[in-house]
Amino acid sequence: MDDLTRRDLIKLGAAATVAASLSVGEQLAAQTAPATRTFFTPEELAMVDELSEMIIPTDDHSPGAKAAKVAAYIDSQLADAFEDKDRTTWREGLKLVDQLSRDTTAKTFMQASPDERVAVLTRMAQNEGAPKEPQDVFFIELKARVVNAYYTTDIGIHQDIEYKGNTYLAEFVGFDVSS
């Protein structure tokens, strides 16, 4: 087994567990065609699209989560998730985001101004290290899915991280060690 990878994923703990259970589609169907099933309502999809872009926005270095179609991937994951609770978590979580928005602005999240949306997400993120309230917990879930989706796209891997590996090398790269 690869021990470094093993260690890294132990460290990532929860995220790795999420990744293992958040797959899409019937096995055969999935192997022959991209997943097309959906779960989110159009309103929910727009909200997740917006939230994902707030977490990983387009900047002068690379396109963000919207361009990488992160929301659509999360949608397909949830449509085919084995556990109903994964879908419930998101439906309830997005309602909570709207509620937080209404509490402070009297508007839904999508009706709120960009600054007001940032205030809502900031409030959700404030206990990221030690989540207690439902909105804290949903922020962890939201961010983990967005991160896992974005950094596995061609935009995330090639344009943002500028990953240089997964290629055939004639010689190994790095520093020689002499005997």
Partner 1 sequence: MSLIRILQGNAQPEVDLRRTYDAIVIGSGAAGGMAAHVMTSKGMKVLLLEAGKKIDTTKELKSTEWPYEHPRRGEMPPDRHALSLNEYTIRQPPYAADTKYAKVHSYVQGWGGSDYSKNIVVDEKEHPYSGTNYAWVRARCLGGKTNIWGRLALRLSDYDFKGKSHDGYGEDWPISYKDIEPYYNRVDEYLGISGVKENLPYLPDSIFQRPTKLAAAELTLRNSLKKMNRVVTPYRAGVTTDGLKHNKYRSRCFGRGACSRRAGGCDIHAAFDSPTGLIYPAMDTGNLTIRTNATAREILVDKDTGKARGVSFVDTETNRTYEAQAKVVVLAASTLESARLMLLSKSSTHPNGIGNSSGHVGHNFCEHVMGPGITGLVKDKIGAPRTLDDGRPGGFYLPRFRNLSEKNPNFIRGYGFEGGAGTQMFPGNALETPGFGAAYKKKVRDYTGAYISMGAFGEVLSRYENQVDVDPEKKDKWGIPVLRFNYKFGDNEKKMCEDMIGTAQEMFEAAGFEIVNVDKKVLTEGWSIHELGTARMGTDSKTSVLNQFQQSHDVKNFFVVDGSSHVSASCQNPTWTIMALAWRSCDYLASEFQKGNL
Judged by CB under 8 A, the chain residues 109 through 128 that form the site for partner 1 are: 118, 121, 125, 128
Of residues 132-161, those binding partner 1 (CB under 8 A): 143-144, 147-149, 151-154, 157, 160-161
39 versus 106: smaller Cβ distance to partner 1: 39
> Contacting partner 1 (CB under 8 A), which of 42, 114, 132, 172?
172
Cα separation, 86 vs 81, whole angstroms: 7
Tokens 């090398």 appear where? 169
Cα separation, 99 vs 142, whole angstroms: 16
Is residue 130 part of the contact set for partner 1 (CB under 8 A)? no
Binding-site size for partner 1 (CB under 8 A) equals 77
Of residues 37-66, those binding partner 1 (CB under 8 A): 54-57, 59, 61, 64
Q: How far is the CB of 58 from partner 1 (least distance, A)?
A: 9
Per DSSP, 66 falls in state T
Over the window 10 to 29, marking each residue x when it contacts partner 1 by CB under 8 A and - when it does not, the resulting string is xxxx-xxx-xxxxxxxxx--
* 8 Å CB contact between 49 and 71: yes
Q: How far is the CB of 38 from partner 1 (least distance, A)?
A: 14
H-type alpha helices, 13-83: 14-21, 27-32, 42-55, 70-79
Between vectors from CA 81 to CA 155 and to CA 22, what angle results, nearest 5°?
A: 45
